[in-house]
Amino acid sequence: MTTTQDSRVNSGYGPAGAPPTADEVRGSSVGELLRQVTTDLSTLMRQEVELAKAEIRQEGRRAGKAAGLFGGAGFGGYMVALFLSIALWAGLSNVLDAGWAALIVAVIWGAIAAVLYSMAKKNAQRVRGLARTSDSLQRIPDALKPHPEGVTR
């Protein structure tokens, strides 16, 4: 094996990142090939972990925003219950003025709660989980299976 072939096999790939040719693989020892496979698997797993971390950060932000909006909708719902209770109390005890004012405030809080809820629901639907990571992890077993065509030439 020439020095050029030896350096390409040792680095795992030929010029411009091309996989080694059949002649380069045939000229390599089993130990070199196993080292190359182990290095490639290690690199692949590190890349998959980094992808999972990035997806978790991205989806975590979306989930946090949705949770905040759901919290706002919950507070709006609390305010509706509070002002409806006050409106009913004031309307029964003081048949007109104060009760109508409290009812108007309650209707406004109901509208705010409805808007916050719809925004929260849209944000929650965008949370996808770890879609890209699970897709690429499912392809790993296929990459480890022997292929009938062998090594590329």
Contact 136, 51 (CB under 8 A): yes
Q: Two tokens at 125?
A: 């639907």
Q: Two tokens at 146?
A: 């022997």
Q: What is the pLDDT along the chain (153 residues), one digit of tens a residue?
A: 444 444 444 455 555 556 777 777 777 788 888 888 888 888 888 888 888 888 888 888 888 889 999 999 999 998 888 888 777 777 767 666 677 777 777 788 788 889 999 999 888 888 776 566 666 666 666 666 666 665 554
Which of 45, 46, 57, 41 shows the shortest CA–CA distance to 130? 57
Distance CA 42, CA 152 (A): 22
Distance CA 44, CA 95 (A): 74
Distance CA 60, CA 44 (A): 24
- Quick check: helix, strand or coil at residue 152? coil
On whether the pTM is more than 0.95, the answer is no
